[in-house]
Amino acid sequence: MEIRPCQPEDSQSICDIYSYYVENTVISFEEVAPTVAEMAQRIATCTETYPWLVCHDGVEIVGYAHAGKWQQRCAYRLCVESTVYLKHGKAGKGYGTGLYRELLAVLQRQGFHMAIAGIALPNEASVKLHEQCGFTKVAHFSEVGRKFDRWLDVGYWQKKLENDA
């Protein structure tokens, strides 16, 4: 397993991974999958400030993780929203944990204070991943999203990134 910073040529693989979740699940609240060009632009914009990592298994990109702005107000500048996506069928092999641990380490080195993750519920696998990586559930919003003609809940987990030494 190789985890490295995302490169522009990774846009197609990332788009393919993400499109599965947009088109087939309620994990993403987007309803139309982005094009490769739109994904490339998202990556370029994100990586101006925040990390975007990919995981390669020696054959293909099997997942990615990135962080982004949590809220617009200046006081939130040291908090990030973090996420990880794995290629469908690649869960349970350690890729998600490896990606998340590396993403959190990069964020800590960059001086960010708090990582926040929103999870569409129910999603046992994502909850387990976040909690294994040290996140704690801090909020639960009922019926705040609607996709595939059903109401969806969202939970929020957070992890402090700074050492208290």
Cβ-contact 116, 156 below 8 angstroms = yes
Neighbour count for residue 1 (Cβ, 10 Å): 13
Name the domain count of the chain.
1
CATH number of the domain to which 56 belongs:
3.40.630.30
pTM for this structure? Answer: 0.94
Give the tens place of pLDDT for each residue, 114-128.
Answer: 999 999 999 999 999
Residue 141 lies in a domain: yes
pLDDT at 164 > cutoff 50: no
Residue 94 lies in a domain: yes
Axis crossing angle, helix 95-109 with helix 124-132, rounded to the nearest 10: 50
For residue 19, pLDDT over 90 is answered with yes
Q: What are the tens digits of pLDDT across the range 73-94?
A: 999 999 999 999 999 999 999 9
**pLDDT at position 165, please?**
38
Name every residue whose Cβ is closer than 8 Å to that of residue 15 and which is 6 or more positions away in sequence.
Answer: 33, 34, 35, 36, 39
Query: How confident is the model at residue 163, as a pLDDT?
Result: 57
Angle between helical axes of 11-24 and 36-46 (0-180°, round to 10): 110
Q: Does residue 81 lie within any of the structural domains? A: yes
Mean pLDDT to the nearest integer, 39-45: 97
Do the domain assignments include residue 100?
Answer: yes
Range of the domain at 146: 2-160
Q: With respect to residue 105, please indicate whether it lies within any of the assigned structural domains.
A: yes
Residue 165, in any domain of the structure:
no
Q: How far is CA 126 from CA 40, 46, 80, 97, 112, in A?
A: 25, 22, 18, 10, 22
Per DSSP, helices labelled H in 8-165 are 11-24, 36-46, 95-109, 124-132
